[in-house]
């Protein structure tokens, strides 16, 4: 704004208040205006019509006795048609807005617990805006927007909340890990049971195949060699299997020395011992 030879220049987005002998006379908009000071006119001041922002920090406590600092951001502006009221009625606009914000927040937050305060911050902002709009409109100001930009609990409360959250997550992780281990053990047990079952089936089939093979061998030998009994054929088969087993033991690199009786009579004794061992084993199984 400039003033020279009784003329003033009002910049854009501003208005000037003119007085005549100390009394309000008119509101001057942007542009050049005559101000004949010799006739008692003077410039009382100027008023910005731009949107202004005021950040208010209000400390209060919640319903569960937790002290928090609520940060509210108030965006407001003066109305051109009520510029005189905005200029003359309030000496400290920011102080007046701050007082109303304190009043609403300290009346609203104590009704809520800490979690509800975070969840319902939009409701708190709306209550502040309604109260400010009702109060400040009488002074020529418009409330453009009211925001609750932050809610800051005490540092120790923050730390406790983080510890509670961490403990809850750890408990969930422990339960999930235990459940996974339980499932793994169950699956392993089922696998072992199935493996033993199949192993039993295989052993049973193996024994059945051996019995079938021995039966076929005995029948074939009896038919091809006249005068031989089933007992003679069985003795021959047992002795053959016995010596085959001794051969495999001797061929193994990890086997040690094996002493067996030698002589024609020893063969009969070996066959008798093998037969008796098999018969005893069958009696035990029965």
The answer to whether 46 and 60 have CB atoms below 8 angstroms apart is no
Q: Report the pLDDT value the prediction gives residue 199, as an integer from 0 to 100.
A: 85
Q: What are the pLDDT digits (tens) for 155-208?
A: 777 787 778 877 888 888 888 888 888 898 998 888 888 888 888 888 888 777
Segment 74-93 shows an average pLDDT of 90
More confident residue, 101 or 254: 101
Q: Report the pLDDT value the prediction gives residue 146, as an integer from 0 to 100.
A: 92
Instruction: Measure the CA–CA gap between 286 and 273, rounded to whole angstroms.
Output: 20
The pLDDT mean for the chain works out to: 81
pLDDT at 2 over 50: no
More confident residue, 216 or 52: 52
Q: What are the pLDDT digits (tens) for 237-251?
A: 666 776 777 777 767
Q: What is the CA radius of gyration of the chain?
A: 53
pLDDT at 124 over 50: yes
**Closest of 22, 23, 18 to residue 36, by C-alpha:** 18
Q: Report the pLDDT value the prediction gives residue 76, as an integer from 0 to 100.
A: 94
Percent of the chain with pLDDT over 70: 76
Q: Report the pLDDT value the prediction gives residue 174, as an integer from 0 to 100.
A: 87
The answer to whether 233 and 217 have CB atoms below 8 angstroms apart is yes
CB-based contacts of 71: which residues, under 8 Å, 6+ apart? 55, 56, 57, 58, 148, 149, 150, 151, 152
Phi, psi dihedral angles at 260 (to 5 degrees): -130, 150
């Amino acid at each position: 704004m400039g003033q020279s030879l009784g003329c003033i220049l009002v910049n854009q987005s501003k208005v000037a208040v003119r007085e005549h002998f100390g009394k309000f006379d008119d509101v001057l908009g942007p542009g050049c205006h005559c101000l004949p000071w010799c006739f008692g006119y003077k410039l009382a001041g100027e008023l910005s019509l731009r949107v202004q922002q005021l950040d208010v920090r209000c400390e209060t406590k919640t319903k569960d006795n937790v002290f928090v600092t609520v940060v509210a951001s108030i965006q407001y502006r003066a109305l051109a048609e009520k510029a005189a009221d905005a200029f003359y009625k309030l000496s400290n606009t920011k102080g007046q807005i701050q007082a109303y914000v304190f009043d609403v927040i300290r009346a609203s937050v104590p009704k809520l617990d800490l979690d509800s305060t975070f969840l319902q911050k939009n409701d708190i902002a709306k209550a502040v805006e309604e109260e400010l709009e009702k109060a400040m409109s009488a002074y020529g100001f418009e409330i453009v927007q009211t925001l609750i930009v932050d809610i800051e609990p005490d540092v120790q409360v923050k730390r406790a909340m983080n510890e509670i959250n961490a403990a809850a997550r750890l408990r969930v992780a422990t339960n999930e890990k235990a459940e996974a281990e339980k499932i793994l053990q169950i699956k392993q047990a089922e696998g072992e049971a199935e493996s033993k079952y199949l192993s039993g089936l295989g052993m049973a089939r193996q024994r059945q195949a051996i019995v079938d093979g021995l039966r076929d061998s005995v029948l074939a030998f009896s038919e091809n060699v006249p005068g031989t009994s089933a007992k003679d054929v069985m003795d021959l088969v047992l002795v053959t299997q016995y010596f085959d087993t001794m051969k495999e033991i001797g061929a193994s690199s990890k086997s040690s020395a094996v002493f067996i009786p030698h002589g024609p009579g020893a063969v009969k004794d070996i066959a008798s011992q093998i037969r008796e061992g098999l018969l005893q084993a069958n009696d035990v199984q029965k």
